[in-house]
Structure 1
């Protein structure tokens, strides 16, 4: 090798004054500037031992690739934008984590713009902010009925993938089979012998909540079971607790399907405080399979969905669009799985009270 990988004080000082260049790294590593450029751009036609030597020289000199210059040469910024409503929900955080890890593996950075309220104005502002950040493509995770609106314009000429947000067919989409999961939850309770299943739905402007509610209703109708009134929640534990207090006061309710695990947790607390046993008096099913759902008391029967797989698949589709790779599947729907734990059982013995319609 031309010289030791330990940079001399004078070399480090000169690099700090003007910033280390490709030439500095090439001289330090004993390779050509073309080889350094290939490594900096993530190309694979470099021997692994040479790549590691170049990376070590970059670190020793404090070299950082000039993203703007690289974008001028390649036409790409290697940066992906993510527009996401709420960073606090379990599903969104798991999805975002998978997007970030997959992007880093593929040599891309991500820029996240959270949307505080899923309104037309906020979504449009978020998209504009991302365009100012020089991104190669955007992943949209806004599950409310916003992306379908005519006054929300997704960037033209830019690759876009939508997660659980739209019925539009002009962009690749990735989603969980929400209807399948709701059917599994409802049918499980019917198969245990419950006369009907009550539902705590998500917000009225949510696509996933609407799909789950519609499938719950259809499953009951196909089984010839009464369809009770819907409790309307907002995904929070507080909403589940509030509706759980009413459920606890109504002895005719023996089975509850909550549209997510957090609302199911609120129901469990309300039932416990009211002295109604789960599952002996009331069975409860959630949706999401949160990491903590097996530690609820009792452990929660729920619907498992692959948030990480959704994030990875969205990133794969977006990069395929950015890099113009052959990608025959433009959209993906991932299956759900019923996870049976201790919060469900057959209804209590004795005559069941009629369900309210």
Structure 2
């Protein structure tokens, strides 16, 4: 650090501020210090800095599975946001309440500064004791005073999808719901029911899958023969539903319209291209990391609710005459 200070023509304290990301350095001086660091191939010693500051600049991610598209997209978004802010990422997969508790303990032993709990793992984390030194942010959860909640407004997205189908003239909209234990699935089902209720329409019993396209295919076999509109709780299940409907000889969208949720990368390549509700995974991951960094610093961000948007493609149309 002293060598960097000499080459840059600044004090050691200024180098320290640059290394630690302090805003109290003007841009020109920061560039001079960074150039000197590059010239000397200087790298901060994380272990030594952790001993001095009590922080490792590492955050944890607790997730029940990475097999679903939504969770893998969130992992990518959180990893990118963490790297942008100078944090390393440690991932823990936990399939049960005991495993979540063990995951928190393991992260604590590794000295991570805080953790993000993702989607289905949030239900498993409720009631689990969290080490007091571990800052926590939860993605997709009911409000809780113990941590900051960051989420997409799933109900609003589902209401928009259902209202769009009703606005095209469909007498009702059937729902292919996600797993019963999922907060996101519950919220999407709630939004669907609210849109039907607002239109004075009784909701039929939803079909149910597990987020996978295979489960969507299996469930969509039971779509009523007179149904003209189907809202699937995610794009993967919508993909399976499209296949099941095609196998049954039902044309999409001429005979039945289909809407998904998430707007995965391939949704525009489905046959037909899928109308869906777009979640901004990058913004959601950035909001979660920002809230966690604030918590690590002793602050508390307000809960964040991101509004999804409806993306219209070729899988919907007015009902057949």
Tell me if both proteins adopt one fold, taking TM over 0.5 as the criterion.
Answer: yes
Displacement after TM superposition at 1:97 (Å):
2.5
Displacement after TM superposition at 1:52 (Å):
4.5
Displacement after TM superposition at 1:163 (Å):
0.5
User: Among 134, 137, 141, which residue is 1:165 paired with?
Assistant: 141
Q: For 1:167 and 1:49, locate their aligned partners in 2 and report how far apart those are by CA, in whole Å.
A: 43
Q: 1:48 to 1:179 in 2, by over 3 A?
A: closer
Q: For 2:135 and 2:302, locate their aligned partners in 1 and report how far apart those are by CA, in whole Å.
A: 12
Counterpart contact for 1:181–1:337, Cα < 8 Å:
yes
1:263 equivalent in alignment to 2:237: yes
Match of 2:62 in 1: 83
Displacement after TM superposition at 1:102 (Å):
2.4
Displacement after TM superposition at 1:123 (Å):
0.9
Q: For 2:143 and 2:11, locate their aligned partners in 1 and report how far apart those are by CA, in whole Å.
A: 51
Match of 1:253 in 2: 227
Q: For 2:97 and 2:114, locate their aligned partners in 1 and report how far apart those are by CA, in whole Å.
A: 20
Deviations 1:254-306 (A, max 9, x none): 11110000000111111122221001111101011112111111111111122
Counterpart contact for 2:119–2:184, Cα < 8 Å:
no
Match of 1:209 in 2: 185
Match of 1:18 in 2: none
Match of 1:197 in 2: 173
Match of 1:107 in 2: 86
Counterpart contact for 1:143–1:163, Cα < 8 Å:
no
Larger Rg: 1
Q: For 1:260 and 1:209, locate their aligned partners in 2 and report how far apart those are by CA, in whole Å.
A: 9
Normalising by structure 2, report the TM-score: 0.90
Match of 1:69 in 2: 48
Match of 2:286 in 1: 312
User: Among 86, 90, 93, which residue is 2:72 paired with?
Assistant: 93
Q: 1:167 to 1:53 in 2, by over 3 A?
A: closer
Structure 2 unmatched ranges of 5 or more: none
Match of 2:125 in 1: 147
Match of 1:338 in 2: 310
Counterpart contact for 1:278–1:284, Cα < 8 Å:
yes
What is the total number of aligned residue pairs between the two structures? 320
Counterpart contact for 1:143–1:165, Cα < 8 Å:
no
Q: 1:27 to 1:275 in 2, by over 3 A?
A: same
SS of the aligned residue for 1:287 comes to strand
Deviations 1:223-270 (A, max 9, x none): 2223212211000000111122333xx421211110000000111111
SS of the aligned residue for 1:269 comes to helix
1:297 equivalent in alignment to 2:274: no
Structure 1 unmatched ranges of 5 or more: 1-21, 350-357
Q: For 1:260 and 1:63, locate their aligned partners in 2 and report how far apart those are by CA, in whole Å.
A: 47
Q: For 1:215 and 1:205, locate their aligned partners in 2 and report how far apart those are by CA, in whole Å.
A: 16
Counterpart contact for 1:141–1:165, Cα < 8 Å:
no
1:124 equivalent in alignment to 2:101: yes
Normalising by structure 1, report the TM-score: 0.82
Q: For 2:253 and 2:309, locate their aligned partners in 1 and report how far apart those are by CA, in whole Å.
A: 21
Deviations 1:94-114 (A, max 9, x none): 323332222222222222223
Q: For 1:76 and 1:190, locate their aligned partners in 2 and report how far apart those are by CA, in whole Å.
A: 53
Deviations 1:108-144 (A, max 9, x none): 22222233x2x10111111111112211111111425
Q: 1:46 to 1:184 in 2, by over 3 A?
A: closer
Match of 1:348 in 2: 320
User: Among 43, 56, 74, which residue is 2:22 paired with?
Assistant: 43
User: Among 272, 277, 283, which residue is 2:257 paired with?
Assistant: 283
